[in-house]
Structures are given as structure tokens and as C-alpha cells.
């Protein structure tokens, strides 16, 4: 029998057809609806490999159900939806898709910053709704981006690439990261500062940090209160790094000037969420890496990782590098 791969969301046939002759492949047939929990558990029981989405909870129950499971390939850089310890304990490789989405996500992040600062979404709707009756000096006046200070929280590959974009706008670049990046400082003139200093000095605070125990609720009411009243907060990392109630209050009270959000604590966000009622919020449906070219490259990398593991080779981008240790016991 051919090894069995289950994919938790419908992917283009041209992407998966390359492996059709060597594997039995099944997909959840909906593009915009998550696979039901019971179906996921049932598929895990017979699968040799799972190709998962960030919205799938691959917890210990799913992993224990997968008695034949050898690899989980997550269609994302992040992997906080997967119980990494349980996967490692069961000798299952967990793979992600770093690097291939760096430029695309940096483009979206900087685009979100620009849209929020210059009120582009609000202005486009203003025209479409027939509200544009005349020109006036401060009609939908936003905030300049050029020559301002950008503070990047989380200077990984995406953070570095956003910083490169900022050099084209002659911005002062501050960053805070678990580890200092001297090579980035030298290459683009970025300045390493404490988290508190970054928050106080920056005109634009861009969050690109991964979700960990340390970063959960990193942005609290006290943090927003420390920002400039003209500051704009951008989050393109993970929703739970922000206390959303504190962010809502800061925006309502004009503690900060605006927010551009590609991620939320609970996704998809409800249409009646109070954040969506505010004119100084630009909200996107978690599309950081969503270009046709990049998403197809991510899918291909997931399938390549699966193929490598199922043919007895090392995957290209493995997260739990000690997964093989359990196989020898």
C-alpha cells in the first residue's frame, strides 16, 4: 500500500499532482472552512503524514491518534498550533515553511503600516460611499512615514526585511529581539534598544515576534500608555501577543493614533468585534504571506518535507530537530 497523506484544506491539484503516483492523498474539500475535529482525528489514525494549516489544533489527542504518523508539515512559519513536545515524544517530525515567505510578508507588513498611517482604506471607502463633496486642506489627513522612527519587535528574517523596506523611507530603525543582530545594525543602521525604550521612542511599533510563553500578552495597557499619542501599532505576528481589550481601550481613548492588524486573538475575528467599529483600525484576514506565488511555494515545501521523511531522508525545514531520537528507543 502507498503511504497515506491527509491535507487539512483544499489545495490546487497542480501542486499535489506531483506526488500522486507515489502516495495516496486525501484532502478536506473546503477552501474556507476548517476540517471538522472528528474528521481530523479519524484521518490522523490512518495517515503517515499530515499537511496542516495554522488554524488546525494539532494537540496531543491528534498526535496520539496518529499511530502511523511520521511527519506533520505546517503551512506557516509559526507552529504554535502544534504540540511540539508530544510530536517529538512520538518521533514525529514537525516542519514549517520559513524563508520562502519572508519578502511577501514584509511587503504586506509595510503595506499595512502605510495603509494605516495614510488612512488609505478609510479614504477609499469615503470615495465609494459618495462622501467626497469637495477638497479641503485636512481632508483625511494621516501621518507621514518618511523620516519617522520605526520600532521592530522581533528581528527575525521578516523583521530584517521590513527594516530594509524602512530604509527606503529614510526612517530611524530601532529593534528589540531576544538576541542582538550586529550584522543587521551594520548593514542597515538599525539600533538595538530595550523594549521599553523602543515603545517610548517609536512612531510606528511593528510586532513580528513569535508567540511564546514570554511574548503572550506582551502588549498590555501599560505598554500602550507608554507609547506616543501619535504612535501607530502594527501586528503581523500572532494575535495573542496583544491584550486586545487594552488595545481597544488605547484606540478608543486616543492613547495611540491607530492600529493595523493582520492577526487577532481569535480567528476569524467576529464581524461585530468592537475593534472593527473604529475608523483608526485597518483589519486584514491574516494574509501576511498570501500571494499566489508564495503560497504555492509554501505548499510545495510542505509536500517536499513530507516526501523526504516518508522516503527515509531528513526534511528540509524541521522544527523539532531531536525528533529522530525517539525513533531509536
Rg (CA), the chain: 22
27 contacts 10 by C-beta, under 8 angstroms:
yes
User: Where does residue 32 rank: exposed (0-12), middle (13-18), buried (19+ CB within 10 A)?
Assistant: exposed
| Cα dihedral across residues 41, 47, 48, 51: positive or negative | negative
DSSP label of 17: G
3-state secondary structure of 34: coil
Is 37 catalytic? The answer is no
Contact between 159 and 175 under an 8 Å Cβ cutoff? The reply is yes
Which cell is 247 given?
A: 488595545
H-helix or E-strand spanning residue 85: helix 84-89
Q: Does the annotation mark 122 as catalytic? A: no
Backbone angles phi, psi at 212, to 5 degrees: -135, 180
Return the HEC string of 245-289.
HHHHHHHHCCCCCEEEECCCCCCCCCCCCHHHHCCCEEECCCCCC
Catalytic residue among 90, 119, 286, 295: 286
> Helices 292-310 and 102-117 sit at what angle, rounded to 10 degrees?
150
Q: Which of 9, 90, 176, 238 is catalytic?
A: 238
Ramachandran region, residue 245 (left: φ > 0; alpha: ψ -120 to 50; beta: rest):
alpha
Maximum CA pair distance of the chain? Answer: 75
Cα–Cα distance for residue pair 207/194, rounded to 1 Å: 14
The reply to whether 286 belongs to the active site is yes
Structure-block grid coordinates of residue 245: 481589550
Active-site residue, from 60, 125, 183, 267: 267
If you ran DSSP here, which 8-state letter would residue 99 be given? S
Handedness of CA 168, 173, 178, 179 (dihedral sign): positive
Count of residues making up the chain: 329
Per DSSP, 48 falls in state S
Active site (catalytic) residues: 238, 267, 286
Amino acid at each position: 500500500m502507498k503511504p497515506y497523506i491527509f491535507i487539512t484544506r483544499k489545495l490546487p491539484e497542480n501542486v499535489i499532482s506531483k506526488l500522486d503516483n507515489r502516495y495516496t492523498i486525501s484532502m478536506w474539500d473546503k477552501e474556507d472552512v476548517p476540517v471538522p475535529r472528528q474528521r481530523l482525528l479519524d484521518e490522523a489514525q490512518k495517515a503517515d503524514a499530515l499537511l496542516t494549516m495554522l488554524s488546525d489544533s494539532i494537540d496531543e489527542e491528534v498526535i496520539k491518534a496518529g499511530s502511523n504518523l511520521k511527519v506533520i508539515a505546517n503551512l506557516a512559519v509559526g507552529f504554535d498550533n502544534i504540540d511540539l513536545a508530544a510530536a517529538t515524544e512520538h518521533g514525529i517530525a514537525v516542519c514549517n515553511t520559513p524563508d520562502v515567505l519572508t519578502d511577501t510578508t514584509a511587503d504586506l507588513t509595510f503595506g499595512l503600516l502605510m495603509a494605516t498611517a495614510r488612512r488609505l482604506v478609510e479614504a477609499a471607502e469615503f470615495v465609494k460611499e459618495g462622501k467626497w463633496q469637495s477638497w479641503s486642506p485636512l481632508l483625511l489627513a494621516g501621518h507621514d512615514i518618511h523620516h519617522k522612527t520605526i520600532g521592530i519587535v522581533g528581528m527575525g528574517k521578516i523583521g530584517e526585511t521590513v527594516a530594509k523596506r524602512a530604509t527606503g523611507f529614510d526612517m530611524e530603525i530601532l529593534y528589540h529581539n531576544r538576541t542582538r543582530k550586529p550584522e543587521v545594525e551594520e548593514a542597515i543602521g538599525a539600533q538595538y534598544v530595550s523594549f521599553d525604550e523602543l515603545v517610548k521612542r517609536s512612531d510606528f511599533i511593528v510586532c513580528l515576534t513569535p508567540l511564546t510563553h514570554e511574548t503572550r500578552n506582551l502588549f498590555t495597557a501599560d505598554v500602550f500608555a507608554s507609547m506616543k499619542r501619535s504612535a501607530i501599532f502594527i501586528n503581523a505576528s500572532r494575535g495573542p501577543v496583544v491584550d486586545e481589550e487594552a488595545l481597544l481601550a488605547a484606540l478608543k481613548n486616543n492613547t495611540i493614533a491607530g492600529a493595523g492588524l493582520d492577526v487577532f486573538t481569535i480567528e476569524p475575528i467576529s464581524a461585530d468585534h468592537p475593534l472593527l467599529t473604529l475608523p483608526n483600525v485597518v483589519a486584514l484576514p491574516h494574509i501576511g504571506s498570501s500571494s499566489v506565488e508564495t503560497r504555492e511555494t509554501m505548499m510545495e515545501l510542505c509536500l517536499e518535507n513530507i516526501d523526504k521523511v516518508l522516503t527515509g531522508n531528513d526534511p528540509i525545514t524541521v522544527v523539532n530537530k531531536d525528533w529522530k531520537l525517539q525513533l531509536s528507543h
